Amino acid sequence: MAQILAPSTQWQMRITRNSVSSSPMTTKMWSSLLLKQNKKWSSKSSAKFQVFAVKSENGTINRMEDLLNLDLTPFTDKIIAEYIWIGGTGIDLRSKSRTIPKPVQHPSELPKWNYDGSSTGQAPGEDSEVILYPQAIFKDPFRGGNNILVICDTYTPAGEPIPTNKRHRAAEIFSNKKVVDEVPWYGIEQEYTLLQTNVKWPLGWPVGGYPGPQGPYYCSAGADKSFGRDISDAHYKACLYAGINVSGTNGEVMPGQWEYQVGPSVGIEAGDHIWCSRYILERITEQAGVVLSLDPKPIEGDWNGAGCHTNYSTKSMREDGGFEVIKKAILNLSLRHKEHISAYGEGNERRLTGKHETASINTFSWGVANRGCSIRVGRETEQKGKGYLEDRRPASNMDPYTVIALLAETTILWEPTLEAEALAAQKLALNV
C-alpha cells in the first residue's frame, strides 16, 4: 500500500489501468490516512488535493505530479517561456514553449520566434511562416519559478501585421498623443460558461433540461446553485500569481456561468491582461476536464447570455466636470453604434435581444443605473459629476484589443459633424 497525492473530484488525473489500481479502503485505513495527511504530508498537500491510498501492481507509484512540480531554480539559470498568440479564428489561443538562457524582465529581451501559419488558418501552405513578436510577460502559474507566459502578436516575415493581429492597430491608437494624454482606464468584466465534456451542456444542469427559475444562481452559494467554484477560485489565484490585475470574481445569473473582472488597466495593457487571463482559464479547465465556452449565448432559452462589459474612463472624465465629457462620449458612441456592434463579438445578436439585462442590438440607448441600456452610467458618477461609463454591448468572445481601441478612438480621436452631433444629442436628450 502506498500513499500518493491525487487531485480532488474536478482535478483528478487519469491513471492508466496497467500502472496502478485503487484498493478498497476500510474505515481504519481512512482514519490513518487523514492523520498522516495532517502531519507528515501537510507540506505537500494543497487546497485542491486530497490523499488517497493506492496499490501499485509493479511496486512503483505514479510520480507525474512530482515531476510537474520540479523547481528548476537551484539547478539551472534557464527558464521556460510559453509563447502565446491568437489563432486564425480571432478567438482561439495557441502556444508553444521555448527554453531561454536566463530570467528576463522585459519582452524586448526575448527573441522573436515563428510558427506554421498554415496550421492555424493564418497563412498559405506554400508561404506559411508567421513571426511572433513578444509584447507582454507574466509569471507562469503552472510551471512556477522564473518561468513565464509571453503574450505575442503576429507578423509576416517582412514585418507586416497579419490580418488577425488586432493588437498592432490598438497599439497605434494608444500611442497617439491625444490618447496618451487622456490616460484611458479600462475595467473589463469577462463572463464565461463551464460545460460538461461529453454533452457540451452547462455544469450542474440536467442534460437537455432547464435547471429552474432564473435568478437564484447569481452570487449564490450551495451545492445546488454553485457549479465550478473551485475552477473560478483556482483561476483567480493563478491570475494574481501571474501578475494579472484581477479585481474580483463572482458567480453569474446562469448556472455554470462565472465572471471575473480585470482592471483598472491603462491602455493596451487591458487587452494583454484579458488575453493572458483567458489562456490561464483555458489551461485550468483543460486540467479540470470541463469545457470553457465564451459563446455569448451558449444555450438558447429564457436566461442570460454571456457578455464582456467594458468600463471606461479618460482623465477628463475622472476630473471635475467629467460628466459633461462622459455625455459627449456617449453621443459619439451613439453615432458609431453599427461600427462598434460589428466589432463586439460573434453571435452577439443572440444575446443583445432587449431582454435579460441587455439593450437591443439595433438600438442605441443610455441611462443612469440602467442595465438594460447600451451604455450605463453609475449612480455615483451622476452624483459626483465625474467618473466612468460602462459599455454593456461587447460579447464574452470579443477581442479586447479591438474593443478598447475603438472606445478610445470614438471618444477621443473621432469628431462627428455638427449636424450629426445636434441630431444625436436631441434624440438622446443630451445637453452637450
Q: What is the 3-state secondary structure (H, E, C) of 333-402?
A: HHHCHHHHHHCCCCCHHHCCECCCCCCECCCCCEEECCCCCCEEECHHHHHHCCCCEEECCCECCCCHHH
Q: What pTM, to 2 d.p., does this model score? A: 0.82
Q: CA–CA separation, 402 vs 388, rounded Å?
A: 19
Domain boundaries, the chain: 2-68, 79-163, 177-428
Residue 145, helix vs strand vs coil: coil
Residue 285, helix vs strand vs coil: helix
Give the phi and the psi of residue 125 in degrees, each rounded to 5.
-65, -30
Interstrand relation of 375-377 and 366-368 (parallel, antiparallel or unpaired) = parallel
Q: CA–CA separation, 342 vs 336, rounded Å?
A: 10
Interstrand relation of 246-251 and 93-100 (parallel, antiparallel or unpaired) = unpaired
Grid coordinates belonging to 121: 488558418
Q: CA–CA separation, 66 vs 51, rounded Å?
A: 14
Q: Residue 19: what residue type?
A: S
| CA Rg value for the chain | 24
Grid coordinates belonging to 152: 505575442
DSSP letters spanning 23-82: ----HHHHHHHHHHHHTTTTTT--TTEEEEEEE-TTS----HHHHHT---TTT-S-EEEE
pLDDT in tens, the chain (432 residues): 333 333 333 333 333 334 333 344 343 433 443 344 444 444 443 444 444 444 445 444 567 888 888 888 899 999 999 999 999 999 999 999 999 999 999 999 999 999 999 999 999 888 899 999 999 999 999 999 999 999 999 999 999 999 999 999 999 999 999 999 999 999 999 999 999 887 666 776 666 665 555 555 655 555 555 688 999 999 999 999 999 999 999 987 777 899 999 999 999 999 999 999 999 999 999 999 999 999 999 888 888 899 999 999 999 999 999 999 999 999 999 999 999 999 999 999 999 999 988 999 999 999 999 999 999 999 999 999 999 999 999 999 999 999 999 999 999 999 988 877 788 777 787 765
Number of neighbouring beta carbons within 10 Å of residue 139: 17
Q: CA–CA separation, 388 vs 329, rounded Å?
A: 10
* Number of residues in the chain: 432
Q: Could you say which DSSP state residue 13 is in?
A: P
Q: Could you say which DSSP state residue 11 is in?
A: G
79-163: in CATH 1.10.10.10: no
- Of 363, 357, 305, 334, which Cα lies nearest the Cα of 424? 334
- Of 160, 157, 153, 162, which Cα lies nearest the Cα of 121? 162
Superfamily of domain 177-428: Glutamine synthetase/guanido kinase, catalytic domain (3.30.590.10)
Q: CA–CA separation, 135 vs 152, rounded Å?
A: 5
